[in-house]
Amino acid sequence: MVVNVVVLDYGSGNLRSAERALARAGAEVSVTADFKAAMEADGLVVPGVGAFSACMRGLKAVRGEQVIGRRLAGGRPVLGICVGMQILFAEGVEHGEHTEGCGEWPGVVERLDAPILPHMGWNTVQAPEGSVLFAGLDAATRFYFVHSYGVRKFDLEAGPGFAQPLVTWAEHGVPFVAAVENGPLMATQFHPEKSGDAGAVLLKNWLGTL
């Protein structure tokens, strides 16, 4: 069965790269800001590059935070990529500016404490046992990152009615969250659409959950 995926167009992200990668992975893909299409798709991909605050402004301009919230309330899958992952957290702090995020997860997106920024290039990750996104990929697999900010602490615990999220970590100067799997909400700090064969496997794994 071919699944329908919308890449949310809110003025940020590698839209065409994501579209092509998802199509190669077997999805029927459209790039749009249309609220109804984004709500009804089998899967929604939220990309993002640049500043946290600018991404949040763009997202709100197309009611993207409402789409994300409503989809998740109905158990409908969402995948965030790069800053599209970061805006899912409670807050972003850049150059002293605090910006409220979507608040789907607690946590602060802040500048990494590393000798060289941005963190640009290929890096390994430490995926937890039971990961769906990283199924079939070994610990030596590398993914492509481009970022200076990240989430250094993930505090969401298991509770009544929901399981402990699976958090994948990477390191650049300090450990940071590289991916999260939390029921219908999944996200990666790295760019699977720029990560070659490894990224293609990850996207196929995500499409398999739809």
Helix residue ranges, H only, the chain? 15-24, 35-40, 52-61, 64-73, 83-86, 196-207
Choose, from 19, 65, 104, 193, the residue flagged as catalytic: 193
What are the two backbone dihedrals, phi and then psi, of residue 28, each rounded to the nearest 5 degrees? -95, 115
What region does 50 belong to: left with phi over 0, alpha with psi -120 to 50, or beta? left
Neighbours of 98 (CB within 10 A): 11
Q: Does residue 180 contact residue 187 with C-beta atoms inside 8 Å?
A: yes
Six-digit token pair at 39?
Answer: 């709500």
| 191 in active site | yes
Choose, from 55, 82, 102, 110, the residue flagged as catalytic: 82
Q: What share of the chain is helix, strand, coil (3-state, %, to 5)?
A: 25, 35, 40
Task: In whole angstroms, give the CA distance from residue 126 to residue 38.
Answer: 31
Choose, from 119, 147, 172, 191, the residue flagged as catalytic: 191
| 82 in active site | yes
Q: Which residues are annotated as catalytic? A: 82, 191, 193
